Amino acid sequence: MRLQGKVVVVTGTGSGIGKDIAERFALEGAKVVAASRRASTGQGVVDAIVAKGGDAIFIQTDISSEADVTALFDAAVKKYGRIDGLVNNAGVNFVCPFEECTPEAWDRVLNVDLRGTYLCCRRAILEMLKTGDGGSIINVASNHTMAAVKGAAPYDAAKWGMVGLTKSLGIEFASRKIRVNVLSPGLIHTQIWDDILNAAPSHQECNDHWNSNIPMHRVGTCAEISSAAVFMISDESTYMTGANLVIDGGTSSQLVTAEPYESKKI
């Protein structure tokens, strides 16, 4: 077990990537502190982990609230005595023409995605400094940190801000054995992908469009992201800090998408 005995806080565990990370960490021997805004989904994830012999607790948390983050880490330390890792996965997506983006919408995205990351990082680092044993933090961003799409200004701003925060913390705490890295997924089969499919006139046309934009010609899986997260939290990545690990099937590496025809040989 690659995470045996490590106490790891994971936010946004109610579904999708966060749920898969929490379950995978428990299988790898971690003591998981699962946080989610909705108790209806978050508690069920922990119940399933415990039923399989894992060690986990659930704390209902809105990470944009300093009081909620304080309560989350207080509960984690009370239960397990220390913090060894943190995965800042909770976040909100947003797509809207910029001229229609209100200050309220901007603040909502930045408060959750960036402020929430800051609040959780700050408390986790303070707890790691108390023990002197160091630790590992993963800030889950997006391949939007490599390029942008139309209508995602607040989301892109928040995710790029997470990279800047990560690099700053990575170098500031490197000498104190605290590693901070970014994990940037591309399009992954989560509820967001299901929403994209269901909003399209045709599931097949939607699949064909998105797959043509991904060099691997498929949407990624939560398991592929959680596998990377295990590596980043574990002692296998002890020389890695301030990095941005992009897992997007090659999407952010291409200049243009594949042409919808076969070119003649040159």
Average pLDDT over residues 196-218: 89
Quick check: 162 and 118 in contact, CB under 8 A? no
Where are the chain's structural domains?
7-185+220-246
- pLDDT in the model for residue 200: 87
Residue 162 is inside which H or E element, if any?
Answer: helix 153-172
- pLDDT in the model for residue 94: 84
Where does residue 170 fall: left (phi above 0), alpha (psi -120 to 50 degrees), or beta otherwise?
alpha
Name the least confident of 22-31, 76-85, 191-200.
Answer: 191-200
Average pLDDT over residues 179-186: 98
Looking up tokens 């959680």 gives 226
Active site residue 118: no
User: Is the pLDDT reported for residue 52 higher than 80?
Assistant: yes
Average pLDDT over residues 64-91: 98
Quick check: 17 and 222 in contact, CB under 8 A? yes
Fold of 7-185+220-246: Rossmann fold (3.40.50)
Choice among 118, 155, 239, 261 that is catalytic:
155
